[in-house]
Structure 1
Amino acid sequence: MFSRVEQLAWEKEKLSNFACLSAESRGRKKAEADCDIRTIFQHDRDRIIHSKAFRRLKHKTQVFIAPEGDHYRTRLTHTLEVSQIARTIARALKLNEDLVEAIALGHDLGHTPFGHAGEAALTEITGEEFKHNLQSLRVVDLIEKRSSGSRGLNLSIEVRDGIVNHTGDTKPLTLEGQIVRIADRVAYINHDIDDALRAGIIDASDLPQDAISILGSTHSERIDVMVRDLINSSWQQEEIKRSAEIKTATEKLRSFLFQNVYIGSEGKSEEGKAKRLLKLLYDFFIEHLDYIPDEYLEFEKNHKQAVIDYIAGMTDRYAINLGQKYFIPTPWFDKNR
């Protein structure tokens, strides 16, 4: 058996001096006995994968709401693509692949139903910007329950830091967290282009050709160029970075997506309905708190926050089903017909 102690020794011998070694983790908020097989980051990864919040990602929107097709990305497939890209980079740079994987798998656990439309709806409801990265941390710290019944997954400091700082103004503490931060962008820029092409919202000729000439004309070529550039630019460095040329070309593609896909495109036509639905559900549950599962109320005295937590955790189809249940009249049939 390859024990945890042997794995710690392997990391110390094989990984880069810039890697976050499992043996040097800052630990958990609540001290626990170490597993004799898994390192702390492997243990975190397993807790995330076995969580209910992770399973619900398969029915949460990535970009397109309720698309008619089996091959569009969901929040779960996005998460897996981020994990794959980030692990490739970490392995090449001799950084801690287990830490990268745990952060990547947990980074979007707080995303709302209906993607960023859901975020916008909750922002309008509360008057404060809803940030999915903060909600992801809330999920692993408070909302998710372990099989033992304890509240929160009690993840390591490093994984929690990588999750909350995968977006926003604060850079993650570890290089592994920095990898996930960039891998997230590499993944969604490329798979959102792929989905938009599949949906017929854009044509390949619409893409900014100066960026395409640098990054490549196919999905796989672009990811390969971006990943290789990041590895070459970050090798034996104290930060994860990209070359100026690749970064500029990547940002051109991202800007193109905002202008032609994310805002006002045919693929976003259902967002208004999605936002109205979530607002209706919020108002309904504020008036009917007894309809909310006890697990959302037992730790949160602020009932408004409990409702937000409940709605944010919903899948698209669950929210739609509740809308039909609470707001659409149920047909009544004459038994004497």
Structure 2
Amino acid sequence: MPQPQSLSPDREPGDRWRAIYACRSSQSRGRLIAEPASPTRSHFQRDRDRIIHSTAFRRLKHKTQVFVSHEGDHYRTRLTHTIEVAQIARALARALGLDEDLAEALALAHDLGHTPFGHTGEDALDACMHKFGGFDHNAQTLRIVARLEHRYAGFDGLNLSWETLEGLVKHNGPLIGADGEPTARYTKTGIPAAIVEYQERQDLWLDSHASAEAQVAALADDIAYNAHDIDDGLRAGLFGHADLRVVPFLADLLDEIERLHPGLETSRATNELVRRVITRFVEDVIGRSEQLIAALAPADADAIRRAGAPVVAFSETITTADRQIKAFLYPNMYRHPRVGGIRQQAADVVRDLFTRFAAAPQAMPPDWAAGMTELDEPRKARRIADYIAGMTDWYALDEHRRLFDATPSLR
């Protein structure tokens, strides 16, 4: 049987299409725990595969994106959202000459730390953890890939490469400034303990921006959010096409659709609108990012990290459109009266579970309850948060039914 051919230590497939500022698997800063290289996959391909095969990734199938899943089966879950983000991230990375596998790995992993019931569950769990450092889904993603997944004999977590970890941690930019103080996002709460603890084991350059591949994944998340929340909101009947016209960018697209396809049925018009939103945003990111990168003239991937500002970005025009779309969606979807009552019930489920497990840790499954009596209060609370955050919507409701006499149907 022929033996698999190993990748060259200094070159890899696709190198001739990669820009000089792209991350290169052959130049990776490695993994926390050294492992033999794969003979058939790059470091970043291996990261992507480990993420896809993780337990946390499978759970995304039954975690809500925006909490309208009670409306039907056609709305986004965390998994379908993640797949859409990965597709957009690969398209952007390809156009900009970046490493597509790293961009895809970051996109696939970016929501692993989310709780059940969307942002509602996260807000509720954050409140429960207020005295113990709070709850941050980005930090929870790091906990999952660095310690909570138990799939390998030689280590906890997934032992991902440095480039993937730094991209996950710096999803929203640097965490500390040049003075070593937390950036604005963490001024009040401080940097999450999970990140601080990992930083002591492996320096993730918390004072710099992430790679261009990580910046691509972050903007792909924004693009996917806007497009599919418009789609889901329309399909759920939370608002109509006419309501969207308060956003000039969307009004122009709707006019274009009507001009090219007069009298088009509503469902097809919705599909045309969503497709155009994604296309305009993606094309804008490519054009603006090419300008920023050309002006910076980075010699390597680290020059992107040390640039002092993102090089993958929207133009001013699309930045305004993005802001206006989010301003529309907040009251008309995320805080819509039809969703509000369900959000409150979902938050109650999370709070009830946390309170019960804090009072009676033995109510958790044996592998989670083991050793709880030996932990101090902060570590006990963090384990409870780990358990609840890992739940799917369905499992959280099942656990609530097991422990309480009445459980909301969330309908």
- Taking structure 1 as the reference length, the TM-score comes to 0.91
1:65–1:268 Cα contact (<8 Å) kept: no
Equivalent in 148, 152, 165 of residue 160 of structure 1: 165
What do residues 166-203 of structure 1 show as CA deviations (whole Å, max 9, x unaligned)?
A: 23665742000000111101001110110000000011
For 1:151 and 1:50, the matched residues in 2 are separated by: 15
For 2:275 and 2:370, the matched residues in 1 are separated by: 47
Residue 122 of structure 2 corresponds to which residue in structure 1? 119
Identical pairs, percent: 44
For 1:234 and 1:298, the matched residues in 2 are separated by: 50
In structure 2, do the counterparts of structure 1 residues 65 and 148 end up closer, same or farther at CA, with 3 Å as the change threshold?
farther
1:65–1:114 Cα contact (<8 Å) kept: no
Q: Offset at 1:2? A: 6.4
Q: Offset at 1:294? A: 5.3
Residue 264 of structure 2 corresponds to which residue in structure 1? none
How does 1:189-208 map onto structure 2 within 5 Å? 189-207=226-244, 208=246
For 1:49 and 1:293, the matched residues in 2 are separated by: 25
For 1:129 and 1:329, the matched residues in 2 are separated by: 28
Residue 332 of structure 2 corresponds to which residue in structure 1? 260
What do residues 285-309 of structure 1 show as CA deviations (whole Å, max 9, x unaligned)?
A: 1233234345546799411110000
Q: RMSD value over aligned CA atoms? A: 2.3
1:8–1:39 Cα contact (<8 Å) kept: no
In structure 2, do the counterparts of structure 1 residues 329 and 118 end up closer, same or farther at CA, with 3 Å as the change threshold?
closer
Equivalent in 211, 228, 243 of residue 174 of structure 1: 211
Amino acid at match of 1:70: D
Matched, 1:212 2:212: no
In structure 2, do the counterparts of structure 1 residues 54 and 153 end up closer, same or farther at CA, with 3 Å as the change threshold?
same
1:15–1:96 Cα contact (<8 Å) kept: yes
In structure 2, do the counterparts of structure 1 residues 329 and 117 end up closer, same or farther at CA, with 3 Å as the change threshold?
closer
Residue 333 of structure 1 corresponds to which residue in structure 2? none
For 1:2 and 1:255, the matched residues in 2 are separated by: 53
For 1:192 and 1:177, the matched residues in 2 are separated by: 23
Q: Offset at 1:51? A: 0.5
Amino acid at match of 1:191: H
What do residues 309-332 of structure 1 show as CA deviations (whole Å, max 9, x unaligned)?
A: 0001100000001111110279xx
Q: Equivalent residue of 1:270, what SS?
A: helix
For 1:233 and 1:223, the matched residues in 2 are separated by: 15
Amino acid at match of 1:160: L
Amino acid at match of 2:87: Q
Residue 287 of structure 2 corresponds to which residue in structure 1? 232
2:69–2:75 Cα contact (<8 Å) kept: no
Q: Offset at 1:163? A: 1.5
In structure 2, do the counterparts of structure 1 residues 141 and 262 end up closer, same or farther at CA, with 3 Å as the change threshold?
same
Q: Equivalent residue of 1:233, what SS?
A: helix
Q: Offset at 1:270? A: 0.5
Equivalent in 102, 106, 109 of residue 103 of structure 1: 106
Q: Offset at 1:260? A: 1.5
Residue 391 of structure 2 corresponds to which residue in structure 1? 314
Residue 225 of structure 2 corresponds to which residue in structure 1? 188
Bigger drift between 169-178 and 308-317 goes to 169-178
How does 1:233-312 map onto structure 2 within 5 Å? 233-235=288-290, 237=293, 238=304, 239-293=311-365, 295-296=367-368, 301=375, 302-312=379-389
Q: Equivalent residue of 2:71, what SS?
A: coil
Amino acid at match of 2:144: V
Q: Return structure 1 stretches of 4+ with deviation > 6 angstroms.
A: 297-300
What do residues 263-286 of structure 1 show as CA deviations (whole Å, max 9, x unaligned)?
A: 243133211111111111112112
Residue 58 of structure 2 corresponds to which residue in structure 1? 55
In structure 2, do the counterparts of structure 1 residues 26 and 299 end up closer, same or farther at CA, with 3 Å as the change threshold?
farther
For 1:8 and 1:288, the matched residues in 2 are separated by: 55
For 1:324 and 1:305, the matched residues in 2 are separated by: 23
Equivalent in 37, 40, 45 of residue 34 of structure 1: 37
Residue 136 of structure 1 corresponds to which residue in structure 2? 141
Aligned positions, number:
330
Q: Offset at 1:92? A: 1.1
1:282–1:311 Cα contact (<8 Å) kept: yes
Structure 2: which 5+ residue stretches go unaligned?
176-207, 258-272, 294-303, 305-310
Q: Equivalent residue of 2:57, what SS?
A: helix
Structure 1: which 5+ residue stretches go unaligned?
331-337
Residue 75 of structure 2 corresponds to which residue in structure 1? 72
- Taking structure 2 as the reference length, the TM-score comes to 0.75
Q: Equivalent residue of 1:9, what SS?
A: coil
